[in-house]
Amino acid sequence: MDLESGILCVDLSKDPKDLEEGSEGWKNLCKKVREACEEYGCFQVVYEKIPVELYEEMVMALRDLFDLPVETKQKNKSSKQPYSGYIGKADVVPLYESLGIEDAPILDMAQAFTDLMWPNGNPAFCKTINRMSQMVLELELLIRKMVFESYGIENYYDSNVKNSQCVLRVIKYDAPRHSDDDSTTMGLLSHTDKNILTVLYQQDLPGLEVLSKEGDEWFQVSPRHGTFTVLVGETLKALSNGRAHAVKHRVILRISEKERYSYGLFSAPKEDVMVEVPKELVDKDHPLLYRPFNYVDFFRFFYQNYTLENVLEVYAGVVVN
Ligand SMILES: O=C(O)CCC(=O)C(=O)O
Ligand SMILES: [Fe+2]
């Protein structure tokens, strides 16, 4: 099995025929994706469709963006979607800074964000984030389709896509400079994502770590060119009636002179739709675990009440039994 340091790797670039729906290769990929979602809650995916120069343009775009004054970045307020808005240099994670760009694959949305950050215009930035997020969304939709097919719920795929939206979250971690204290290398605390799927790119430096399902081992996810990391979120776990595993992950930085950039496309249900477990995934052996829920409530629920001590109570609020 092409397990690399505990993370399953799915190669979507090996044979174009594998991407023909219904082919043997496609069925094998779907099976592998399901296995990865259930056993690990994450996997790496090789996707060579994205042109090399777009990765480079993305680094320049991120540098440009994070170099803006904090007051400008703070103009990016979260409106409707969780994961949008500016988060900067919080006490618990002082090296972390990020901006969420709602529906960045839609040109008007990418343009609105660009106009907010650069009232005098920055067409190169707009084009880059729009193109990159379109390509990553294409990848996310492909994987989502594989997940739905692997569970035999492909007839829910179109409505699931129609009822979903996405945020491109771009992240910068300042270089940690001291090694005498663990907190100086903590980039992002251990958490699960609450959305459907996250498709993440680590631009240059390593840092992402995922916790084994058994909860006893952290695995480092190495950044590799053309390789994305897919993480199962709590909403996909709920949709699969608890079968898929929402993986805990964190970012531990290495002492270095270089800042770390990453970006992820987070797909999530639209705020006004109810998420329901497909009836096909409920049976005698798999009793219903989640009542229909609204994503924004689901998200707030985790974040307002969530501590390591009360994790079970938090689940009890959305879990039927
Ligand atoms: O920066 C990374 O590699 C991970 C970011 C992450 O987990 C998140 O934004 O939810
Ligand atoms: Fe995350």
Q: Which residues share a beta bridge with 290? A: 319
Domain membership of residue 3 (yes or no) is: no
* SS3 annotation, 235-301: HHHHHCCCCCCCCCEEEECCCCCCCEEEEEEEEEECCCCEECCCHHHCECCECCCECCEEHHHHHHH
Both tokens of 146, joined, read: 């594989």
Distance 277 CA to ligand 2 centre (A): 23
Domain membership of residue 4 (yes or no) is: no
d(CA 243, CA 73): 39
Residue 116: CATH number of its domain? 2.60.120.330
Q: Which residues share a beta bridge with 284? A: none
Number of the ligand closest to the Cα of 192: 2
Structural domains of the chain, count = 1
3-state secondary structure of 124: helix
Distance 191 CA to ligand 2 centre (A): 6
3-state secondary structure of 308: coil
Q: What's 173's DSSP letter?
A: E
Q: Which amino acid is at 36?
A: A
Domain membership of residue 1 (yes or no) is: no
Report the candidate in 271, 198, 290, 195 with the shortest Cα–Cα distance to residue 236.
195
List the domain range (segments joined by +) for residue 61. Answer: 9-316
Give Cα 1 to chain centroid, integer Å: 24
d(CA 237, CA 244): 5
Domain membership of residue 169 (yes or no) is: yes
Distance 251 CA to ligand 1 centre (A): 7
Cβ atoms of 154 and 145 closer than 8 Å:
yes
Domain membership of residue 321 (yes or no) is: no
Q: Which residues share a beta bridge with 275? A: 293
3-state secondary structure of 88: strand
Q: Is the CB of 237 under 6 A from ligand 1?
A: no
Cβ atoms of 222 and 206 closer than 8 Å:
yes
Domain membership of residue 168 (yes or no) is: yes
Report the candidate in 194, 271, 188 with the shortest Cα–Cα distance to residue 231.
194
Complex ipTM more than 0.85, yes or no: yes
d(CA 134, CA 137): 5
Q: What is the pLDDT along the chain (321 residues), one digit of tens a residue?
A: 344 567 899 999 888 888 899 899 999 999 999 999 999 999 999 999 999 999 999 999 999 999 999 999 999 987 666 667 888 877 777 898 999 999 999 999 999 999 999 999 999 999 999 999 999 999 999 999 999 999 999 999 999 999 999 999 999 999 987 665 665 788 888 889 999 999 999 988 899 999 999 999 999 999 998 999 999 999 999 999 999 999 999 999 988 889 999 999 999 999 889 999 999 999 999 999 999 999 888 877 776 654 433 333 333 333 332
Distance 250 CA to ligand 2 centre (A): 7
d(CA 198, CA 200): 6
Domain membership of residue 237 (yes or no) is: yes
Q: Which residues contact 25 (CB under 8 A, 6 or more apart)?
A: 15, 17, 18, 19
3-state secondary structure of 202: strand
Identify which of 185, 196, 208 to mutate to test ligand 1's pocket (most ligand atoms within 8 A of the CB).
Answer: 208
Q: Is the CB of 208 under 6 A from ligand 1?
A: yes
Q: Is the CB of 200 under 6 A from ligand 1?
A: yes
Cβ atoms of 139 and 47 closer than 8 Å:
yes
Domain membership of residue 249 (yes or no) is: yes
3-state secondary structure of 48: coil
pLDDT at residue 79 in the model: 65
Q: Whose CA is nearest to atom 1 of ligand 1?
A: 262
d(CA 316, CA 321): 7
pLDDT at residue 298 in the model: 85
